[in-house]
Structure 1
Amino acid sequence: MKYLVFLLLLSSVCFFALGEVVDNNFSKCKKFFLNKAPPDFTPPVGVSVKPICQCLWDDNDEQIYLYATLYSTTWKIPVYSAYVFGSANVGRCDPWYTEPQLDGDSEPCMSPKGYSKRIGINQAVKSDYEKSGYDKGHLYPVLHTYNHLSMLATSTLTNAAPQNKCFNQVAWLEHERAVIDDLQSCVGTAYVVTGVVPDMDAPKLKNRVYVSKYYWRATCCLKDGQYTGKGYIGPDNKGQVLKLTIQELQNKLSGFYQIQIFQACNGCSQ
């Protein structure tokens, strides 16, 4: 299977993203967090989460880690995905695959069809979204990827949540493009964490998958000799994306769950 993936990559066709469920400290993919420090997230009572290092196989049959995701097996959507910003202007491909390890499969990496009939017990599957009226909203978006591999790795349902079509395709898309303009002026690496707040009152997809109430994003990078952080959340009551400081964003999120996004960045908490 690993060699098949590589051959597909060489032919430049769409193939699947791979993930690896890891320890709570994201030990294999800490490079996607500022100062290698994941957000300090406290799940609500009764909510289970699993850290995933999202990866692909390279031509040496080794895994390349491309971003990190904290996934809720209770909500069946990600809490957040963390990545380093890029803007490769690559074409898009949406195979939408799942993570076998979340459902107890022994296969360490994701496959197009999965390896177990148990797939879907702890995660969303493609059929959950059929005729739902919701988009599969990326947390790590294709627009922010830095090469063909990172683009492919975003197309997994562990990196998506049900998102209002209009908001996803208009206001949130405009926001993602504006973030590109902002982060291109950074010195060195720009770190991004994008998350979801589940809507506890909305009907779940197939009575399983929570839809999003809000999408949020936090960015942090070096500008003019100091770390600069920005926060965003939407939709507001006008269907738009609000611009906030990181602290304001964390305060707003505290009404739903507790999270300190850039715990190792003093300048991004102001």
Structure 2
Amino acid sequence: MLWLLLLQVLASCLWLGHSEVVTDFTSCPQFFYEGITPNEAFAPNNSAKICQRYNDQYHFATLYDRTNRIPVYSAYIYQPGHGPPPHPWFFVEPQLIGKTDLTEMKRESVLIAEHKFTLEQIKESQAVVEDYDGLISLVRGHLSPSGHQTTKDSKMATFTLTNIVPQDGSLHQGAWNNYEFDTMVKASEGCTTTYVITGAVPGDIYIAGGRVNKPSHIWSAACCVMGEGSLKAWAAIAKNDENQVRPVTLGELEDRLTELYGQKRVTLFDNACPRQ
């Protein structure tokens, strides 16, 4: 009986180590400073924690809102790298569909042709490519952008619809792009490791026939480890209908998110990260 119990425990550990949609982020704690995740103050009831896995590696972590079909946030380590962007196709998450042994993001066409899922099955739990077809003033906005990743695989992994929100096109190409690729470069000078959490606040507008929520705000926060273990932090927030980004302290962002969600106090990082 003892050997059977040990086998069951070992099997459970192996499954947890290879899962992607998980009960917590213990499979990929490296994307959070000190392994401390944001609190549950803004977690929706029908959410899923995803250790974003591509080509047998974890590349970032996402809390996903199955009801609004957008990510609540994506957490990653800021490691910008050069090189062309990957092929512009988009993945979906098989494990959001239901019981399956597929542990990595896949293209819809692969799930349908090779694994016998239907498009309707995929659409029940997440956004699909057709939801973003025909957008006029909105674009596919990455919460974890490919330009903040260093390898071809890590860049490719950001092209999953569980990391995408409908983002105002002018904001995406303008002030938010400046924040991602100018402000972040300057702010992270002197950092040995920069932990980033970027999120979206659900709004009142939906696209794709009511399937996918258009966020009211996009926000981002960073906690940077410097030499000898000292820390600094910064943050930003933008309304998702205008081309303007407001720089704020980490504490000010947590205050604003607490107001926007109207629930318990929001905390994004371990208490050691400076709020002012």
The offset of 1:131, in angstroms, is 1.1
In the other structure, the counterpart of 2:267 is 260
The offset of 1:43, in angstroms, is 3.8
Tell me whether 88-97 or 245-254 shows the greater mean CA deviation. 88-97
CA RMSD of aligned residues (A): 2.1
Mapped contact 2:105–2:160 kept (Cα < 8 A): no
Structure 2 length as normaliser, TM-score?
0.82
- SS of 2:104 mapped into structure 1: coil
Mapped contact 2:70–2:162 kept (Cα < 8 A): yes
In the other structure, the counterpart of 1:269 is 275
Unaligned runs of 5+ in 1: 1-17, 58-62
Are residues 1:48 and 2:46 paired?
A: yes
Instruction: Choose from 38, 53, 70 the match for 2:63.
Output: 70
Q: Taking every aligned residue pair, what percent have the same amino acid on both sides?
A: 32
Structure 1 length as normaliser, TM-score?
0.84
The offset of 1:181, in angstroms, is 1.7
Q: Which amino acid aligns with 1:40?
A: N
Mapped contact 2:224–2:232 kept (Cα < 8 A): yes
* Distance in 1 separating the partners of 2:105 and 2:146: 19
Are residues 1:92 and 2:85 paired?
A: yes
Mapped contact 2:188–2:224 kept (Cα < 8 A): no
The offset of 1:184, in angstroms, is 4.0
Mapped contact 1:19–1:54 kept (Cα < 8 A): no
Measured against aligned partners, the alpha-carbon deviations of 1:71-95 in whole angstroms (never above 9, x if no partner) come to: 0001100000000011111211221
The offset of 1:127, in angstroms, is 0.4
Q: Which amino acid aligns with 1:47?
A: N
In the other structure, the counterpart of 1:12 is none
The offset of 1:148, in angstroms, is 1.1
Paired positions, count: 244
Q: Which amino acid aligns with 2:95?
A: Q
Are residues 1:108 and 2:103 paired?
A: yes
* Distance in 1 separating the partners of 2:154 and 2:50: 15
In the other structure, the counterpart of 1:176 is 180
Q: Which amino acid aligns with 1:90?
A: G
Normalized per residue, the structure richer in helix is 2
The offset of 1:19, in angstroms, is 8.1
In the other structure, the counterpart of 1:10 is none
Mapped contact 2:31–2:77 kept (Cα < 8 A): yes
